[in-house]
Amino acid sequence: ALAEKISATLEVDYRVATLGHLQRGGSPTARDRLLAARLGDAAVRGLVRGDPAVALGEQRGEVVQVPIEQAVGKDLPPVDELLSLMDRLAR
């Protein structure tokens, strides 16, 4: 497979790790499966159209495309801010 070809080419040891749903937080919900199907469909349609490099996501219930440069360039909120929000919501 791919890992073996990379190992042979680079002459390095490799290990393949397949994470199951439990390691990622449990089995996917119906919403997870629907979102995956919608994002997959949008990705294939974008490839067929020849869309440039984009990131796909969901915003307000709709699948959206964002230029990859814009998606990776976004600043994320500071961790302290997120922890504070989680603390407030947990009360």
Contact 55, 66 (CB under 8 A): yes
pLDDT in tens, 22-65: 666 777 889 989 999 999 999 999 999 999 889 999 999 999 99
Provide the pLDDT confidence category of residue 77 given band limits of 50, 70 and 90. low
Q: Is the pTM of this model over 0.95?
A: no
Distance of alpha carbon 21 from alpha carbon 25, whole angstroms = 6
**Between vectors from CA 36 to CA 69 and to CA 23, what angle results, nearest 5°?**
95
- The verdict on domain 2-74 having CATH code 2.40.70.10 is no
Rounded to 5 degrees, φ, ψ at 18 are -110, 115
Domain boundaries, the chain: 2-74
SS3 54: strand
